[in-house]
A and B are shown apart, each in its own frame.
Chain A
Amino acid sequence: MRSAAVRLVLAALAVIGCGEVVARVVEQQVQTPQLLWYDEATQLKVAQMENRGPTTLVVAGTSMAWQGLVPSILLDGEAYNAGLAGGVPQVMEPWLLGPVRTELQPTVVVWGLSSLDFSDVYGDTGRQIYREAPATRPGMLAATDRLLRRWSALIRQRPVLRNPSLLIGDGQVRTAERFHAAQRILGTDGERQDFAPAVTDERASEVRARISPYRVDRDDVAAIVRTIEALRVDGTVVVLVEMPVPPRFLALYDDGAVQHRVVGDLLEAIGSELDVPVLSTSSVFTDDDFVDYTHLTASAAAEFSIEVSSQLQELGW
């Protein structure tokens, strides 16, 4: 009986051993990295942050802040843009308090916020993707999986073994293309550089769906509160910035531009409640200053960043 059990274990180990050998051979063939993080750009940013080390000023927020706040203008050489696509507060909270804080140890976080950050109908998908990504999935199983990845190619290459098209064929090509696309728009300081015009009806519908009907998501406000308070414990100062939007964005609200007023009201209330500075632009940005409904053009981003930089200097940064 005992010898049978031993044989069974040995057989299992042999199978695992063979699997491990196969996986290591497979691993050598794999040219495209697996997506372990929230999205390809996030994974590339993690690599940038690892190489970068402590950084004085870090920008946070959705792609609006990611594109609109240029690190080299805000604090040349000492700033990094950690904004993420769809990086609403519930995504920013774990991102800022996790890898960003660990790697960059910022002194000041400049958090660009807009109505998208507070919208009840936007951000759930991003939060879910962040929570389900292999590198950030919570729970014991996920932690064990990450631990085993250190030693086992079988675990690391599990997705490829399950779906060989990730190794060869369309799957591999698509993955590679996504990483290339992310790499193309990523600046050396983490900023987004996607300035291709995209003013289409389809895009308008997409953005409208993110703010219609417009209600404030209490969870996002709470996430901002928790994040600011947690960063404060480390001595990190948070500065909130109201991101500009074009008239064509304001026109997408159900009740018109007046609904956008909630952003300023909320930021002012957060600033007062948590005693953090709130910056907003005095410049008038027109439709032509945006490549689409939310993202600034290169020149407008530079103009906006200069103004924010100036206000930061007035605050002593």
Chain B
Amino acid sequence: MPVTLTNHHRVVSLALTFVALVSACGAADSDAGYETADRIMARAGVESDAGAATPTTEPCEVEQRQDEYGLTFDVCVQADGSLAAPSTEDGSTEDGSTEEVLDETLREPRDLLPLGRYRELVDQMPDGSARSALVELGVALDQMDRSCGATPTAWRQAAVAVSDRARATVAVLSTGPDEDLAAFRQSGSARELERVLVERAVLQSGCVAPASGSMTRTELLPVTAGLAASTEALTQEVVGTTTSAFFYHPDELAHWQWMRTEGSVDIVVAGTSQTLLGVEPDLLEISSGRSVGNVAIPGAVAEVQEYWLPQVLTAVGPDIVVWGIGPLDLVSVCPLDGRDEEFRRLELVKQEAFGMLPWARSTAGVDLIMGRPGAGDYTDTATVAEVDARFRGVRGDAFEFANPDPVELVASVDRFRAPFDASSVCVERLPFIRRVLSELEAAGVRVIIFGMPIAPSLSGLYQGGDEALDRLVDQTAAQVFVPGGAEYVGMMQSIDDDGLWYDVVHPTRAGGELMTAELAEALRAVGL
């Protein structure tokens, strides 16, 4: 024990030193630090626990004004003409009550602010180079607005232009605002301007689909992130702070679209792109007589489902989850390539980003991105066919591969064969599956796992062939799925014709319809 009684003398002398010190400090000035503390708290815009924040404004004349929403509010017009929050009778400030009222208005479920509003707000700014820069930025925003639904290339070019204009505007603003601009920053107009900038330049509300529909995530993020950075810097210069938010995969966005419109659903089908393409919710809906949605996301193995499915449960509250798990999930050297980390990181980004927006305090991140739920005005004006197909009226049957391409099928064997060379079970993934099942069971959800098939060209490569692969999945079901509380229905041989596969893991539309029919039959057998 390092400290023993032999240390007491040393301890005592130290303590005495301390007592003398504290006594001396206390005698000198018992209020030391509080004046500065009050200035700090006022500067940070926080209320003191004692309500003693020092007023930061000089005595002034209070005027009643009307903001852009028609709300009246008091402002304090100081001797130099600048505006500030009015003081209360006890000398403390009202702490931005105007902003609070405005925030209340802004956080309501709302439609997008029209881009025309941006121009009106900029017109209210004092003359000067800052206004000129924002006018130019408005032109670029206008162009990006028009490119919504055109081609990804057009959208990308417009986004880059907005980013450039935003950077230029930041440079102008950061050279030092004059007094008129400083006053503008205190106004509700500045906050509204911030919101338009965020909605139009960063979130691209209502215009996410054209960008994400044909661009991969890695293509999309650099453009959007760069744009977000510019706009964040700009809105900091104008009034406050903001940042951006992203989804794990464009299809997650599509799922949110129908989930927010639907509100609740009886059955959801989960899994990776195999399930997304292989299960037609419309067909299942007809056969089961229950509402069905497909919430599968490409690449969403169990590690991702652990975080995605709880969101689905919250959004649409299904009674039953039908989860497709097949050889691609279970057989491979199983690199855990950080997909779950990426999913969680983006959730955190969304949470933090919207937490920073005063007008967004109690609005869910997806609502901010996609606008008011069920408004019916989330119109997709895309002219790119695959974008339109992906986002129109879907319940997860996102896109289709109508025509099998033998060349593609053969080429895909090499792409997917590597895991099968190892022919070992991905044991690292099993704990994730167990955890998902545990979460679903705790939520009172019935879980049915079906064995997701692969094309014969691929399954034949497994050591021991199709039968060995079936046994592997069956054994996993017996050892992991069923003990975890799930029911298992084997469907590994449901599409045994290479002609029904677009590539060796994704069925064509006809293949998907066949598989869905077999799934419906299997579900009927277990009472659905």
Question: Which of A63-71, A200-208, A270-278 lies at the binding interface?
Answer: A270-278
How far is the CB of B337 from the nearest CB of chain A, in Å?
16
Residue from A215, A229, A261, A274 in contact with B49 in the complex, judged by beta carbons closer than 8 Å: A215
Q: At the interface, yes or no: A136 with Cβ under 8 Å from chain B?
A: yes
Q: Which residue in chain A gives the minimum CB-CB distance to B358?
A: A258
What residues of A have a CB within 8 angstroms of the CB of B17 in the complex?
Answer: 98, 102
Known: A99-B14, A287-B344. A48 touches B49 (CB 8 A): no
Is there an interface contact between A258 and B2, defined as CB atoms closer than 8 Å?
no
Contact A269-B40, Cβ < 8 Å, known A27-B5, A44-B3: yes
Specify which chain A residues have a CB less than 8 angstroms from the CB of B40 in the assembled complex.
221, 225, 266, 269-270, 273
Of B29-37, B293-301, B443-451, B506-514, the one contacting chain A is: B29-37
| Contact A150 B36, CB 8 Å, known A247-B351, A269-B44 | no
A274→B33 contact, CB < 8 A: no
> Which residues from A are CB-within-8-Å of B3?
33, 43-44, 46-47
Give the chain B neighbours of A44 by CB distance below 8 A: 2-3
Q: Give the contacts of A97-141 with B (CB-CB under 8 A).
A: 97-99, 102-103, 120, 135-136, 138-139
Asked if B8 contacts A156 (CB within 8 A), the reply is yes
A33 x B33 contact (CB < 8 A): no
Kindly state whether residue A242 has any CB partner on chain B within 8 Å: no
In Å, the complex CA distance between A103 and B17 comes to 11
Question: In the complex, A255 Cα to B11 Cα: how many Å?
Answer: 45
Q: A216 touching B49 by the CB < 8 A rule?
A: yes
- Once the chains bind, are A226 and B46 in contact (CB under 8 Å)? no
B52 touches A47 (CB 8 A): no
| Interface magnitude class on chain B | 35 or more
A179, B12: Cβ atoms closer than 8 Å: no
Residues of B within 8 A of A272 (CB): 43
CB A246 to nearest CB in B, in angstroms, measures 9
Residue of B nearest to A31 (CB): B1
Would B19 and A143 count as touching, CB distance under 8 A? yes
B42 (CB) vs chain A CBs: closest residue: A269
Residues of chain A with a CB closer than 8 A to B37's CB:
218, 221-222, 224-225
Instruction: Tell me if A209 is interfacial: C-beta within 8 Å of chain B.
Output: no
- Give Cα distance in the complex from A270 to B36, angstroms: 9
B23 within 8 A of A: yes
Question: With a CB–CB cut-off of 8 A, which chain A residues contact B45?
Answer: 265
Q: Mark A16-47, 1 if CB is under 8 A from B, else 0.
A: 00000000000100101110110000011011
Residues of chain A at interface, number, CB under 8 A: 67
Asked if B22 contacts A94 (CB within 8 A), the reply is yes
B355 with A256: CB separation less than 8 A: yes
- By a CB distance below 8 angstroms, the chain B residues around A30 are 5
B361-A255 in contact (CB<8A): yes
B15 close to A284 (CB less than 8 A):
no
**Within the complex, which residue of A103, A222, A269 is in contact with B43, where a contact is CB–CB below 8 Å?**
A269
- Nearest opposing residue in chain A for B49, CB measure: A120
Chain B residue contacts of A98, Cβ below 8 A:
14-15, 17-18, 21-22
Contact B43 A102 (CB under 8 A): no
Q: Which residues on the B side are within 8 Å of A216 (C-beta)? A: 41, 46-49
Min CB–CB distance B30 → chain A (angstroms): 11
Residues of chain B from 44 to 90 with CB closer than 8 A to chain A in the complex: 44-50, 52
Q: Do A274 and B1 touch across chains, with their CB atoms under 8 A apart?
A: no
A268 within 8 A of B: yes
Q: Is A223 an interface residue (CB 8 A)?
A: yes
Inter-chain CA distance A285–B7, complex, in Å, is 41
Distance A33 CA – B2 CA, assembled complex (angstroms)? 10
A138-B47 contact in complex given A143-B16, A258-B361, C-beta closer than 8 Å: no
Does A217 sit within 8 A of B, measured CB to CB? yes
Interface check B175, CB cutoff 8 A: no
- Docked CA distance A19–B495 (Å): 94
A306 within 8 A of B: no
Nearest residue, chain B, Cβ from A265: B44
- CA of A216 to CA of B15, assembled, Å: 30
- Contact indicator B16/A266 (Cβ below 8 Å): no
Question: Which of B11, B32, B347, B356 is the most central at the interface, judged by chain A CB atoms within 10 Å of its CB?
Answer: B11
Cα-based distance from A54 to B142 in the complex (angstroms): 63
Distance between Cα atoms of A97 and B24 in the complex (Å)? 12
Measured between beta carbons, the chain B residues less than 8 angstroms from A291 are none
Top 9 A-B pairs, shortest CB-CB distance: A98-B18, A257-B355, A222-B33, A221-B37, A225-B33, A265-B44, A269-B43, A222-B37, A226-B33
Q: A222-B34, A225-B33, A265-B45 are in contact. List 5 more A-B contacts (CB 8 A).
A: A216-B47, A218-B38, A225-B32, A270-B40, A286-B341
Q: List 15 A-B contacts (CB under 8 A).
A: A33-B4, A47-B3, A50-B7, A94-B18, A98-B14, A103-B14, A143-B19, A147-B12, A149-B12, A150-B8, A156-B8, A226-B25, A257-B351, A265-B45, A273-B36
